[in-house]
């Protein structure tokens, strides 16, 4: 991992990454119920985000919506996919509002910007507004994924990371890294410390969707996969430690 650095404003940060895009799965906000939003769990994540900000990090968050609804599940039940995806994107808005509220009670300033316009509830995403928020020291909560059906919040996370000039995407998910197979279904799966985007794609390692990984590869954005369910792990990973898989660009010519 890179060493601590100075940013353009010469503000020293003790973190190896200056601007971080944290992708949180919707499930990250659920407690034992396995559905919806658990205040305690959401508060613990807000604490960790506040901790990273206090250490000099700029944090943008893309939240998923899978704790409420996924468009593919709606489609599987025989309903219209696009309506399902709209419902999924609205679920991400709910999660972003919950996280914003949890940050507010901890005096961590944040701003919710949604790619799907819901003007009575939050502001609509523009690159300019988001960059201004980063510069003002706010945590930027990107809701609504990409704003388009048939996409995922993983792709939304990489897209925002590219647009915002983030140094890294950190995917906080249910497992502690990328494995040779899905560890939830294959107990013999082995974990990688380091992979390239090309290896993730070539081996069909589906911890993140292929569109998202390809976009990260094409824009040379490293991706770190870690367990958000493990208390303290976001702070550890953002500090260059922790248990995670680091996915970086392979500069070798294609075979
Ligand atoms: N090769 C793999 N390595 C790690 N996890 C994998 C792999 N293949 C599938 N998975 C599964 O992918 C899940 C994360 O993907 P996804 O459900 O899209 O996450 P999220 O909801 O966090 O966006 C993990 O919980 C894990 O069960
Ligand atoms: O750009 C996007 C991002 C998300 N979604 C919808 O929102 C749901 C929730 O997002 P995701 O499944 O990525 O959430 P996560 O698994 O991270 O909780 C998806 O299933 C899609 O239905 C969408 O249509 N476009």
Q: Which pLDDT belongs to residue 34?
A: 85
Q: What three-state secondary structure class fits 55?
A: coil
Q: Is residue 206 part of a domain?
A: yes
Does residue 43 carry a pLDDT above 90?
Answer: yes
Provide mean pLDDT across the span 87-95.
98
State which of 174, 187, 188 you would mutate to test the pocket of ligand 1, scoring each by most atoms of that ligand within 8 A of its C-beta: 174
pTM over 0.90: yes
Q: What three-state secondary structure class fits 96?
A: helix
Provide mean pLDDT across the span 216-227.
98
Cα 129 from Cα 146, distance rounded (Å): 16
**DSSP secondary structure string, 199-246?**
HHHHTT-TTS-HHHHHHHHHTT--EEEEETTSTTHHHHHHTT-SSEEE
Does residue 192 carry a pLDDT above 70?
Answer: yes
Alpha-carbon distances of 11 from 8, 14, 150, rounded to whole Å: 8, 10, 40
Q: Is residue 154 part of a domain?
A: yes
Written as six digits, the tokens of 32 are: 């034992």
Cα 19 from Cα 59, distance rounded (Å): 6
Q: Is residue 92 part of a domain?
A: yes
Ligand nearest to the backbone CA of 67: 2
Give the atom of ligand 2 at the shortest distance from the alpha carbon of 146. 1
Q: Which pLDDT belongs to residue 252?
A: 67
Q: How much is the mean pLDDT over the chain?
A: 93
Digit-coded pLDDT (tens) for 139-155 = 999 999 999 999 999 99
Q: Which pLDDT belongs to residue 249?
A: 94
Ligand nearest to the backbone CA of 70: 2
Q: Which pLDDT belongs to residue 48?
A: 98
Q: Is residue 254 part of a domain?
A: no
Q: Is residue 253 part of a domain?
A: no
Using pLDDT thresholds of 50, 70 and 90, give the confidence band for residue 254: low
Does residue 12 carry a pLDDT above 80?
Answer: no
Q: Is residue 188 part of a domain?
A: yes
Q: Which pLDDT belongs to residue 13?
A: 65
Q: Which of 10-14, 57-61, 70-74, 145-149 has the lowest mean pLDDT?
A: 10-14
Q: Which pLDDT belongs to residue 186?
A: 96
Based on the structure, what is the number of domains in the chain? 1
Cα 249 from Cα 217, distance rounded (Å): 6
CA 233-234-235 angle, to 5 degrees, is: 90
Domain range for 61 is: 5-248
Cα 31 from Cα 79, distance rounded (Å): 28
Q: Which of 33-37, 43-47, 118-122 has the lowest mean pLDDT?
A: 33-37
Q: Which pLDDT belongs to residue 1?
A: 42
% residues pLDDT > 70 (the chain): 93
Helix/strand/coil percent split, the chain, to 5: 35, 20, 45
Written as six digits, the tokens of 194 are: 């380091």
- The enclosing domain of 244 has a CATH number of 3.40.1160.10
Q: Which pLDDT belongs to residue 14?
A: 77
Does residue 10 carry a pLDDT above 60?
Answer: no
Distance 60 CA to ligand 1 centre (A): 21
Provide mean pLDDT across the span 91-107.
98
Written as six digits, the tokens of 192 are: 């990688």
Residues 142 and 62 sit within 8 Å (Cβ to Cβ) = yes
Q: Is residue 50 part of a domain?
A: yes
Q: Which pLDDT belongs to residue 31?
A: 83
Distance 169 CA to ligand 2 centre (A): 17
Q: Is residue 216 part of a domain?
A: yes
């Amino acid at each position: 991992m890179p060493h601590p650095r100075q940013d353009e404003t010469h503000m020293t940060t003790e973190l190896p990454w200056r601007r971080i895009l944290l992708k949180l799965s919707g499930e990250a906000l659920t407690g034992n119920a396995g559905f919806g939003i658990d205040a305690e769990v959401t508060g613990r994540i807000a604490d960790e985000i506040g901790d990273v900000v206090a250490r000099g990090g700029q944090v943008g968050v893309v939240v998923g919506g899978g704790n409420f609804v996924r468009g593919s599940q709606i489609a599987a039940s025989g309903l219209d996919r696009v309506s399902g995806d709209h419902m999924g994107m609205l679920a991400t808005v709910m999660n972003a509002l919950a996280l914003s509220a949890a940050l507010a009670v901890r005096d961590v300033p944040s701003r919710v910007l949604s790619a799907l316009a819901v003007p009575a509830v939050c502001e609509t995403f523009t690159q300019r507004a988001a960059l201004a928020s980063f510069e003002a020291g706010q945590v930027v909560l990107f809701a609504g994924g990409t704003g388009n059906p048939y996409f995922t919040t993983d792709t939304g996370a990489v897209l925002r990371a590219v647009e915002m000039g983030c140094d890294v995407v950190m995917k906080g998910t249910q497992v502690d890294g990328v494995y040779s197979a899905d560890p939830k279904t294959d107990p013999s799966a082995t974990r990688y410390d380091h992979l390239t985007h090309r290896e993730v794609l070539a081996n069909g390692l589906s911890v993140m969707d292929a569109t998202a990984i390809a976009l990260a590869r094409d824009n040379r954005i490293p991706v770190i996969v870690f367990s958000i369910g493990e208390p303290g792990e976001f702070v550890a990973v953002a500090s260059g430690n922790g248990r995670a898989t680091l996915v970086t660009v392979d500069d070798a010519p294609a075979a």
